[in-house]
Copies of this chain bind each other. A is one copy, B any other.
Amino acid sequence: MAAKRVYYFGDGTADGDASMKNLLGGKGANLAEMNRIGIMVPAGFTITTEVCTEYYRLGRKMPGDLNDEVEAALAKVEKSMGAKFGDPANPLLVSVRSGARASMPGMMDTVLNLGLNDTTVQGIINKTGNPRFAYDSYRRFVQMFSGVVLGVDGEHFEHHIDKVKSARKVKLDTDLSADDWKEMVSAFKAIVKKQTGKDFPDEPRAQLWAAIGAVFSSWMKPSAITYRKLHDIPADWGTAVNVQSMVYGNMGDDSATGVAFTRDPSTGDHRFYGEFLINAQGEDVVAGIRTPQQITKVGKDLQGSTLPAMEEVMPDLYRQLCDAYKKLENHYRDMQDLEFTIQQNKLWLLQTRTGKRTAKAALKIAVEMELEGMITKEEAVARVDASALDQLLHPTLDPAAKKKANKMAVGLAASPGAATGMAVFTADDAEAWANNGKKVILVREETSPEDIHGMSAAQGILTARGGMTSHAAVVARGMGKPCVSGCGEIKISGKKFTAKGTTIKEGDWITLDGSTGEVIEGQIATLPAELTGEFGTFMKWADEIRTMKVRTNADTPADAAQAIKYGAEGIGLCRTEHMFFEGERIIAVREMILASDEAGRRKALAKILPMQRGDFEGIFKEMGDRPVTIRLLDPPLHEFIPHDAKGQEEVAKVLGVSPDEVKSRVAGLKEFNPMLGHRGCRLGITYPEIYEMQVRAIMEAACNVAAQTGKALVPEIMIPLVGYVKELASLKEKCEVVIQEVLKEKKSNLTYLIGTMIELPRAALTADVIAKEAQFFSFGTNDLTQTALGISRDDAGVFLTEYVAKGLIEKDPFVSIDVEGVGQLIKMAVEKGRKARPGIKLGICGEHGGDPASIMFCQQVGLDYVSCSPFRVPIARLAAAQAALSGGKKGSSSTA
């Protein structure tokens, strides 16, 4: 016996159910399910995805006995709806839609009102007493059918409608009469004849089969094939066809149509929420021509609406709708987004799906549903999009105030959150004004490391140039400060800037929305981040579930304190180079770089030592006994020296050398590809004295703080950019000498770890031998991505966006780990590392450490922890919990 090909649904029964998505497609399975739980859905049937495959196997022909099954199902539909397909007196009209396993662009969408012809249209007129409605429906059908089934260009019809309108001297479709539409039907059919050489099919069954065939054919349209290729969807999945009775909300004042959410999608409040229109079609609600009415009285009051609520004017139907929504929410165990139609006092549900919601609502709904006993903690934690959590962690602009404001310009949304302050144009001004208690926004063409103190003093940063990975953007994200970067619309000159005719002078108030990239004139009220009680409850659940630790990337005591507030359990990456720029020390750093020999360098390093020690003491004090991984100097030395003549002259003056000497040293340090140049441990090898100073500063600080606080500090010293195990072995040996010296001097028996970044393909490939020398690995996925893909992040803008746009890559590999390529290297390094040194501590400190998809990958390969910027710590905690729920394995070490 051949497999069943057609699945009926209607009248609270269905041949299929929600579990049959592969066979019935997502839409068909859902329609069946709604019927099964007793929701009134217009009857219909689903032709299975297997028939699609059969159709192609037969050379684009329908299987012979499909007709019988369709006729049998159609008979059931007719009985359910009390109308007959093609019947002149009481015609049944249907919609035909495609429905694959997953929603898929490129597939045939919808044909409505199928079954209409010059005869049946009279039946509709008789039934509704509304010829305009009937002919409007008829012409819509001809238009849609001709477009999606017969492939006639829609412009022909639009063009004709315009002609008629201009002849009638009217502007809107609604101004056309029944007769206008009636004439239009004939004209449309003539267009079809001219374009296709064939008559428009009048026979309802011919229409039906043509539509079914069109759905199947659309499966092999080039756009669908391309989409499947891009998303690895096999061609043999096929699509189902859904044929469903039409119902109408525009059959009089006993008819209506509406949309509703089972809870408030904006706040998450537990109240039924929605709008409806009497005597209207679904599209009228969306079109906004008429003002919709609220469904509940509460809603009416909250909105201050003067129109009666459905609860008031259709109390019976309202009760039916309430029954339905509760049933649906209980059944699907999540907030639902419903569409319904009331046709002559009968309620039909047309669709239910999981409702979209704000991050705030998602969190509230998840927590409340758990408390209601509807879902488990695990489900609650799984429900909230980790990335969206970002919205809750930053102040936002008051929407009401924002609506009225003057939006001057839009740049890149480089670092989220809202900030308001007075415009200043130099870093020094920012610092000075802030010291005087003023709130400032730092406005620059672009920022450089010399601006750090000003960025730190400002509420937010606005730059005219630079992308999402520019200095301003990266540093602002690290600081958790709002930033709009690359805002080409603003023209800065001296201490003012202009955009769209508005000029902002120094001291004028401006507001930035770093989540949208908007630059707004004046002082706009901001709402603080709402880390409400639900947030705390929710994050506690996430922490109970996750198995990976979450650390932070922090370079200063302030960052460290912020991260702890957000739940960080340690520092995964403390960069020592940012400290080099602060205050006086940059002078000593430059002196060190410009020294002509080791003695000169050591002299300058001796000046830096106490400052670095102080930095580390501050961080250790903040972190208590949480682990702190400190990376030794990484960037090439030329980053610390100005590259312009004026800056070089200043340096020369301060250091008492000739400008030519500075210039020549800078020229000597110039590199073709600095990313692949003399940096990381390569500096440590050629200038061992630098690392010696840093290790001494770390160990002295650790001993001092441990002595003061009595906490069991375990500093983790990290050597960057290792490619050869011998680099690590050689530097480790040198570090050990200094460490032992300090421990002896301080009479301390402090423990410590020495490990390495894995940020070069060679390091990952030889992780087994490297692990013999390393007590921990931290995956530096920024550089690992740059090298594995051969893509400079700073230069990728011109082609990477085009790659994403053309579908060559799905996600920016600098945002989300390239699992297929870089992921292999990480996996390899994890396996080789653990094999060579069981219990080796493994973490990630690239920016990917705060990206949920990447965190999922980290869980899968079994890392012990992820580390990210302070403001992403809650996101990482949630993402780690979700990753644990999805079944990734736990790392080997429990002390990360």
Residues of A bordering B, CB below 8 Å: 671-678, 682, 685-686, 721, 723-724, 726-727, 730, 759-762, 765-766, 783, 786-792, 794-796, 798-799, 802-803, 806-809, 818, 820-822, 824-825
Q: Which 8 A-B pairs have the closest CB atoms?
A: A676-B792, A762-B821, A673-B792, A677-B795, A760-B790, A761-B761, A672-B794, A673-B673
Determine which of B721, B790, B796 lies in contact with A762 in the assembled complex, contact meaning CB atoms within 8 Å.
B790
A685-B727 contact, Cβ under 8 Å, with A675-B676, A820-B766: no
Q: Choose one: B723, B807, B824; the contact of A765 (CB below 8 Å).
A: B824
CA separation between A765 and B826, bound complex, in Å?
A: 12
Distance in Å: Cβ of A735 to nearest Cβ of chain B: 16
**A676 engages B676 (CB within 8 Å):** yes
Shortest CB-to-CB span from A678 to chain B, Å, is 5
Residue of B730, B796, B802 touching A685 (CB-CB under 8 A): B802
Shortest C-beta distance, A168 to chain B (Å), equals: 44
Cα separation A807 to B726 with both chains bound (whole Å): 9
How many copies of this chain sit in the oligomeric assembly?
2
Partner of A821, one of B766, B791, B803, B824: B766
In the complex, what distance in Å separates the CA atom of A34 from the CA atom of B675? 58
Task: Please state if A822 and B672 are interface contacts (CB–CB under 8 Å).
Answer: no
Nearest-CB residue, chain B, relative to A822: B762
Beyond A685-B808, A760-B788, is A676–B820 a contact (Cβ under 8 Å)?
A: no
Q: Which residues of B contact A807 (CB under 8 A)?
A: 726
Please give, as numbers and ranges, the residues of chain B lying within 8 Å of A791 by CB-CB distance: 676, 723
* Nearest chain B CB to A857 CB, angstrom units: 15
> Which of B766, B787, B795 meets A790, CB within 8 Å?
B787
- A721 with B682: CB separation less than 8 A: no
Closest to A730 in B: B808
Q: How distant is the Cα of A31 from the Cα of B528 in the complex, in angstroms?
A: 89
Q: Which of B674, B765, B794 contacts A825 (CB 8 A)?
A: B765
Return chain B residues, CB-CB under 8 Å to A673. Answer: 673-676, 792, 794-795
In Å, the complex CA distance between A820 and B675 comes to 23
Give the chain B neighbours of A678 by CB distance below 8 A. Answer: 795, 798-799
A821 pairs with B761, CB closer than 8 A: yes
CA distance A677 to B726 in the complex (A): 30
Taking A682-B799, A727-B808 as known contacts, 13 extra A-B pairs with beta carbons closer than 8 A to each other, sorted by chain A number, are A671-B792, A673-B674, A673-B794, A676-B787, A677-B796, A723-B821, A724-B809, A726-B807, A730-B808, A761-B789, A762-B818, A765-B821, A766-B820
Q: How far is the CA of A825 from the CA of B824 in the complex (A)?
A: 12
Closest to A820 in B: B766
Could you say which residues of chain B place their CB within 8 Å of the CB of A799? Answer: 678, 682, 685-686
Asked if A788 and B787 make an inter-chain contact with CB atoms under 8 angstroms apart, the answer reads yes
- Smallest beta-carbon distance A671→chain B, Å: 4
Residues of chain B contacted by A798 (CB below 8 angstroms): 678, 686
Q: For residue A759, which residues in chain B have a CB less than 8 angstroms away from its CB? A: 790
Structural contact, A675 and B672, CB atoms closer than 8 A: yes
**Chain B residues near A730 (CB, 8 Å)?**
806, 808
* Bound CA–CA A671/B676 (angstroms): 14
Cα A787 to Cα B792 with chains together (Å): 11
Contact of A760 among B677, B762, B789, B795 (CB under 8 A): B789
**A246 to B: closest C-beta gap in Å:** 43
Residue of B nearest to A682 (CB): B799
A820 to B760, CA, bound (A): 14
Residue of B nearest to A821 (CB): B762
Q: Contacts A761-B821, A802-B685, A825-B765 given: A723-B789 contact, CB under 8 Å?
A: yes
CB-CB < 8 A to A802: which residues of B?
685-686
Complex Cα distance, B795 from A806, in Å, reads 34
A842 to chain B, nearest CB (A): 20
A-B contact pairs, 26 of them (CB 8 A): A671-B794, A672-B675, A672-B795, A673-B673, A673-B674, A673-B675, A673-B676, A674-B795, A675-B676, A676-B676, A677-B792, A677-B796, A682-B799, A685-B799, A685-B803, A686-B799, A721-B790, A723-B790, A724-B808, A724-B809, A760-B789, A760-B790, A761-B787, A762-B790, A765-B825, A787-B788
Inter-subunit contact B676/A795 (CB<8 Å): yes
B residues near A808, Cβ cutoff 8 Å: 685, 724, 726-727, 730
Give the residue among A676, A677, A783, A796 with the most B Cβ atoms within 10 A: A676
Within the assembled complex, what's the spacing in Å between the Cα atoms of A788 and B796? 19
Query: Which residues of chain B are within 8 angstroms of A760 by Cβ–Cβ distance?
Result: 788-790
* A518 → chain B closest CB, angstroms: 27
Chain B residues near A820: list those with CB within 8 A.
765-766
A761 pairs with B825, CB closer than 8 A: yes
By a CB distance below 8 angstroms, the chain B residues around A806 are 685, 730
Bound-state CA distance A730–B760 (Å) is: 29
> Which residue from chain B places its CB closest to the CB of A673 in the assembled complex?
B792
Choose among A724, A761, A803, A806 the residue with the greatest number of B CB atoms under 10 Å from its CB.
Answer: A761
Q: Is the CB of B786 within 8 A of A762?
A: no
Separation of A730 and B802 alpha carbons in the complex (Å):
13
Question: What's the minimum C-beta distance from A768 to chain B, rounded to whole angstroms?
Answer: 11
The residue in chain B whose Cβ has the minimal distance to the Cβ of A683 is B799
Q: How far, in angstroms, from A671 to B760 measured CA to CA in the complex?
A: 21
User: Closest approach, in angstroms, between the C-beta of A688 and any C-beta of chain B?
Assistant: 11
Q: Which residue in chain B gives the minimum CB-CB distance to A783? A: B790
A497 to B664, CA, bound (A): 23
- Residues of chain B within 8 A (CB-CB) of A789 are 723, 760-762
CB distance from A228 to the nearest CB of B (A): 14
| Nearest CB in chain B: distance from A449 CB, A | 15
Neighbouring B residues of A766 by C-beta, 8 Å? 820-821, 824
